[in-house]
Homo-oligomer: A and B are copies of this chain.
Amino acid sequence: MIKLSDAASDLASDRRTLDRATCEGLDAADPLASFRDRFDLPDGVVYLDGNSLGALPRATRAHVDRVIAEEWGVGLIRSWNDAGWFAKPQAVGDRIAPLIGAARGEVVLGDSTSASLFQVVAAAARLRPERRVIVAERSSFPTDLYVIESVQEAVGGAEPLDRRLVHDDGPTLDDVLDDDVAVVVLTHVDYRTGRMHDLAEVTARVHAAGAIMVWDLCHSVGAVPVDLGSAGADFAVGCTYKYLNGGPGSPSFMWAASRHHDGARPALTGWHGHARPFDFEVGYEPVPGIGRFRVGTPQLLSLSALEASLDIWDDVDMALVREKSLRLTELFVSLVDRRLAHWDVEVVTPRRSSLRGSQVALRHEDGYAVMQALIERGVIGDFRAPDLMRFGFTPLYVSHADVWDAVDVLHDVLSSEVWRDPRFAHRGAVT
């Protein structure tokens, strides 16, 4: 039996033989190995795209079917009370809270992540009405920037708010932080490179400048430990269809530190956020607490699929997830170093584990075609323009042997040059 605690450093320092048997040994000692049985994964597939769409939990089909047949079909309108539908966005939020270091009553499910970010960034900016700047990262997932454009206009008053973009190539956060910055919006784990911010350290710097800190947790919730509470952050949004396995387009969540609940004015004021929604009053009055971030009727079937996947998360130790995640990404990088040195493949993701989420990006000039050839062979990652192949490592269902097999197939694709086949050429496909 291989000692797990040594494995990662062994891999990194290149001291040991590394073959499929080594990987199988790591799997045999993996305390999370049994979680794989709680997912339905197709045969013959190594799924390394859980950072984009998580795999299907085995319990989801029956749970959603029961909600449809019993809660909707039989309960009908009565289920808004009897099945707790109205309370569900907050009840589900309370189940996500432990994964992000939030307290009960601080998390609520919303519409799409983009809509929720609009909701939260607008509320954040309104807490600093005397300041005129929103800071964001140029490398953000673009919808964050697009949403910020809308917030700049919606909250700005006579003139739109200004925006300052930071980037690894400069300007840095310290360059742009001054007393005109109202809000800083950063993504904890970068969607392309997997680079991770130090959440507490950055929050402290932003607070020192008097600004409000908004975290985008799309690529970190369920992938790495997150502790918003200890960091003293202000707001966050996150995605539930990646590492949380809630299903395609499952609803986003919003978090607000409880100190902001009663002063916050979200941008969208719908009846589900009203203090007395069933009194049908003419004027809007926000409910106390996180509920004021709600807008309209939640999409219950998508929400119910997420509930089924959270049953898994109730049993998960995030420390073990992080440990395995680092072992998987470390293993992948080591294998890429050892086996793909001959080809022009660059590891873009930070090699230092404290700076890395649960994914690895490889740069290759023809990354699109290489990825299509990989997918045809059952190794599913994805591609991000212009030249990045992304591989997500989801500790609950990806094994060490999967990592071996993925690099093995990648080796074959590169050495055979099969990716040069015209059928893999970029045709503007959407994902």
Contacts and interface: CB of A to CB of B under 8 A. Distances in A.
How many identical subunits does the complex contain?
Answer: 2
B300 A247 contact: yes
Contact of A281 (B142, B283, B303): B142
A47 B73 CA distance: 11
A126 B145 CA distance: 21
A280 B385 contact: yes
Contacts of A391: none
Interface string A135-159: 0001001110111011001110110
A112 interface: yes
A54 B49 CA distance: 36
Contact of A299 (B147, B165, B250, B282): B250
B241 A297 contact: yes
A28 interface: no
Contacts of A247: 68, 72, 300-301
Nearest to A150: B269
Contacts of A74: 42
A230 interface: no
A76 B55 contact: yes
A412 to B, nearest CB: 20
Interface stretch (A174-182, A271-279, A351-359): A271-279
Contact of A143 (B45, B69, B270, B384): B270
Query: Which among A42, A143, A278, A384 has the greatest number of chain B C-beta atoms within 10 A?
Result: A143
A384 B278 CA distance: 8
B283 A145 contact: yes
Contacts of A130: none
Contact of A385 (B40, B60, B279): B279
B385 A64 contact: no
Contact of A301 (B111, B248, B382): B248
B271 A143 contact: yes
A312 B270 CA distance: 31
Interface string A388-431: 00000000000000000000000000000000000000001111
Contact of A149 (B80, B269, B279, B430): B269
B296 A113 contact: yes
Interface in A185-237: none
A258 interface: no
A244 interface: no
A384 B277 CA distance: 11
A302 B305 CA distance: 10
A35 B77 CA distance: 21
Nearest to A285: B146
A142 B76 contact: no
Contacts of A251: 299
A65 interface: yes
A256 to B, nearest CB: 18
A290 interface: no
Given A143-B296, A267-B154, A300-B302, A380 B77 contact: yes
A142 B274 contact: yes
Given A115-B296, A142-B281, A267 B150 contact: yes
Contact of A142 (B77, B158, B280): B280
A288 to B, nearest CB: 16
A157 B152 CA distance: 11
7 closest cross-chain pairs (CB), A and B: A112-B296, A114-B270, A114-B296, A111-B111, A158-B158, A248-B300, A143-B271
